[in-house]
Amino acid sequence: MTSSLLERCNFPLQDASNYREAIALAFERVIASGQVILSGGVQAFEEAFAAWLGDGFTAEHCVGVGNGTDALELALRCAGVTPGDGVIVPSFTAYATVASLLRIGAVPHFADVAPSRPVICPLEVERLLAGRHSTRRIRAVIAVHLYGEACDLRSLRDICDHRSVALIEDCAQATGTMYEGGSIGTWGDFASFSFYPTKNLAALGDGGMLVLGRQSDLSRLRTARRLRTYGWNREREAVEFGVNSRLDEVQAWILWAKLKDLSKSISARRSLAGRYRDLIGPWAGQEGISLPGDGINWKHSYHLYVITVHPMVRTNILSRGVADGIPYAVHYPLACHQQAYIAQRLEATPVHLPHTERLAASVLSLPLNPYLTEQDVQAVSSHLHALVSVV
């Protein structure tokens, strides 16, 4: 692989270069305003993000925070989750999802993913809710839209409404994913977004957004804003618990500029994903490879392009990728219940999640971002085919 192709695989570098003028203008705006914390940039981005979410959302529903993990923690707090409460969460997710509830002192109840998809299985959620212990309340379900795939939100919404638990959408990897014609992040009581530099909508540093559901009342909206700044009211009097998690003004202006191009960026990701399918699809089945794609009622945003391969084949692909300069990756080699810290906490109650464990052993991420070319996708596909066809 050529060095130019490797450089195009570096999405944060390419994105920063492409938005050089917008980044410079963001700094100029902050310097000119003289206001560096929770000022015009954050307000403008919260307004723009609410408009992007669609009808029924206003800037009041969107709270810019320091990062996606903070956004998820604040969503849990807004949902009334307290130390000792249970939260149903997929084990097959970025560890940050579970870290957010551990920071509160909540107890994870790990649900398996669907048999053929890397997202939480509604039947597993129903089973866990039906079998919950009376001494441990389950207050929330976290639906993680992993890789840019959408969870079965309609089923999860019905289950949570029936059981009177909060539905929280973790949209960290799915900005731009569509479900039943609208954006993800609009079905839950709360949603969290991440703007980490590798995400579909990427800051130059870090950032996140807490989104409250359309039906949130005014008191809940006010609580969310107080939570991000020490629990202060307008007079800077601490009236409840709060943290220090504020979206930076410079990052807000950068994100505001990039949001205008998000649909074009997602379209480029989808186009490249389509080329992967065209090139790999004809021989994928005979080599035991499965490919991602859209669902009946949702559209993938392809934050990551993740296939599944035999574990032994994956080991060889990763090794040869390093040698040949192709950045294959694994998201994630360990599910959360397999992490050492979590395993210690669950020692008395071991967890077995067959679909989750199968995915952890077989997922493989192929290079994908809007700056790759069709020639890049061709090179990766040919390299992959050469490796799997000789095993």
Residue pLDDT, tens place only, 166-202: 999 999 999 999 999 999 999 999 999 999 999 999 9
What CATH architecture applies to the domain 11-259? 3-Layer(aba) Sandwich (3.40)
Q: Percentage of the chain with pLDDT > 70?
A: 97
Q: pLDDT digits over 103-156, tens only?
A: 999 999 999 999 999 999 999 999 999 985 544 689 999 999 999 999 999 999
Q: What is the CATH number of domain 262-388?
A: 3.90.1150.10
How would you classify the pairing of strands 107-111 and 182-183? unpaired
Query: What's the confidence (pLDDT) of residue 343?
Result: 85
| Strand 305-308 with 298-299, pairing | unpaired
| The dihedral formed by the CA atoms of 229, 235, 238 and 239, expressed in degrees to the nearest 10 | -110
Confidence check: pLDDT of 11 > 50: yes
Residue-wise pLDDT for 265-310, tens only, equals 999 999 999 999 999 999 999 999 999 999 999 999 999 999 999 9
Q: How far apart are CA 59 and CA 61, in angstroms?
A: 5
**Once rounded to an integer, what is the mean pLDDT over residues 222-238?**
93
345-366 pLDDT, tens digit per residue, is 775 567 889 999 999 999 999 9
Average pLDDT, rounded, for the chain? 94
User: How many residues can be counted in the chain?
Assistant: 391
Average pLDDT, stretch 27-55?
A: 96
- Domain extents for the chain? 11-259, 262-388
* Residue % of the chain over a pLDDT of 90: 89
Q: What is the pLDDT of residue 153?
A: 98
Q: 385 pLDDT exceeds 90?
A: yes
pLDDT of residue 134: 43
* Measured CA distances, 284 to 318, 320, 330, 381 (Å): 18, 19, 18, 11
Mapping DSSP to helix (H, G, I), strand (E, B) and coil, where does residue 350 land? Answer: coil
pTM strictly above 0.85:
yes
Rounded-to-integer distance, Cα 62 and Cα 43, Å: 9
Q: Are 227 and 293 in contact (CB under 8 A)?
A: no
Which of 376, 326, 382, 331 has the alpha carbon at shortest distance from 96? Answer: 331
One fold for both 11-259 and 262-388? no
Asked whether the predicted pLDDT for residue 255 surpasses 90, the reply is: yes
pLDDT score at 132: 58
- pLDDT for residue 319 is more than 60: yes
Q: What is the pLDDT of residues 81-109, one digit of tens each?
A: 999 999 999 999 999 999 999 999 999 99
How many CB atoms are closer than 10 A to CB 389? 10
